[in-house]
Structure 1
């Protein structure tokens, strides 16, 4: 039995090592930074964020107040055994991180779902991938205005409605933060591995991927999605600014999707428009 446990642990460690190497080599962790730059330089993409800014900040303030009122003292007591006198400071940072994460989970589920879809689709349109977006929503001609103004009615929505699973999973991983440095790193890695593929849920829908195709696509790029997810999670954990980074990360995911499409175009030797017309004709 002991040998079996050791072998399993060895296999998991090797799998984690391979994923980490693939993540570093992929370079996908750069996309969240590119997303910030692209978002800032394209004012039209600000519209969905500005429309949802006030209610999201109000939600964030309420969650942060609640977390400090009811969770600060219990957590500082537990962290005292691992962090000693600096527990008071580290707990403040932990509660701010928790509050930011909970704000992101709830706001994405209840407040900004449509705004994130518009940001993703608008970025694709700005990158010349309107034919891809047209598979799931109306896209007006360029004379209609900027990339957001060109977005028409949605055919369907890709993001799952609110379920408690995300929050439950988050609190299951939360005790890892009580382990200095290593625990926090593992926590972020696990969160990133889960959220990375979720950033492309809209892309998978636009590509008409079923569950099997989506799982295969993600499995072949596990390291890339983990690297993207970790970078995104770290940004969204920043207190107050997390809502801004939620939109820039969505922009980043769309930029990555556009690069994938353009790489496929070069490999196929055909334009997106011709590929789309061929699929409709078949």
Structure 2
């Protein structure tokens, strides 16, 4: 039995190593940072955020203040049974995560869902992906990507489902494990965040559920490595609203790069075939 356990452990470790290597090779973990840089250097992309800034900041401050005032002390007392002195720090991350989840549910469903959609589409337009955006919304002429956005066919961003909420609370007990458990909690959240950040891209590509699942499965390591830093950024109190927009920009930049790679690769193959024919 002990040999079997060791064998399973080795297989799991090897699989984790392969996924980690795939994640590093993909470079997707850089896109949340690229999203910040691109957003800050393209002022035209600020419009959707500016229009929603005041009510969203008020909501974020209210939720975070409420959660720390009413839930921090009870939770730190409970976690101290498992984490000892480290509970002071792990509980901060836990309350921030809880606040971020509640804020995300409320803001993305009632305040900023349209603004995030416009941010994603306008970023694609700024990267010359007009044909892609045109599959699901009208695109006007002009130089300002946000002003070019016309009527949309349907809203793509996934609302926070009861299943997602249940899954979130199932992961919460991981925080009872000092340090490692909190890291695992963030990683699991990041695994789900990655694909959801591309929900608009899947719609623009007009993928059905099977195609979307296959697409995600082939890139599951890349989506996880995008999701983890993105989740950490959105955990920052109040500033998390800004990072929700920069993460959306980063996801759009990644989608634009995917589109360029998908069109460049066939062209390279065609050029190689033509070169071979000429050589003959």
The interval holding the TM-score normalised by the smaller chain is 0.7 to 0.9
Give unpaired runs (5+ residues) of structure 1: 271-282
- Kept in 2, the 8 Å contact 1:136–1:154? The answer is yes
CA pair 104-161 structure 1, distance change in 2 beyond 3 A: closer
How many angstroms does 1:170 deviate by? Answer: 1.6
How many angstroms does 1:88 deviate by? Answer: 3.8
How many angstroms does 1:239 deviate by? Answer: 1.4
How many angstroms does 1:73 deviate by? Answer: 2.2
Match of 1:194 in 2: 192
How many angstroms does 1:98 deviate by? Answer: 2.4
TM-score of the pair, normalised by structure 1:
0.87
- Kept in 2, the 8 Å contact 1:192–1:227? The answer is yes
- Kept in 2, the 8 Å contact 1:105–1:167? The answer is no
CA pair 228-88 structure 1, distance change in 2 beyond 3 A: closer
Check if 1:115 corresponds to 2:115: yes
Runs of 4+ in 1 over 6 A off after TM superposition: 1-7
Give unpaired runs (5+ residues) of structure 2: 269-280
SS at match of 1:77: helix
Greater Cα offset, 82-91 or 220-229: 82-91
How many angstroms does 1:12 deviate by? Answer: 4.3
CA pair 160-264 structure 1, distance change in 2 beyond 3 A: same
Greater Cα offset, 111-120 or 164-173: 164-173
How many angstroms does 1:128 deviate by? Answer: 0.4
Determine which of 152, 155, 159 is the counterpart of 2:153: 155
TM-score of the pair, normalised by structure 2:
0.88
How many angstroms does 1:104 deviate by? Answer: 2.1
How many angstroms does 1:22 deviate by? Answer: 1.3
SS at match of 2:138: strand
Match of 1:91 in 2: 91
Match of 2:21 in 1: 21
Check if 1:182 corresponds to 2:180: yes
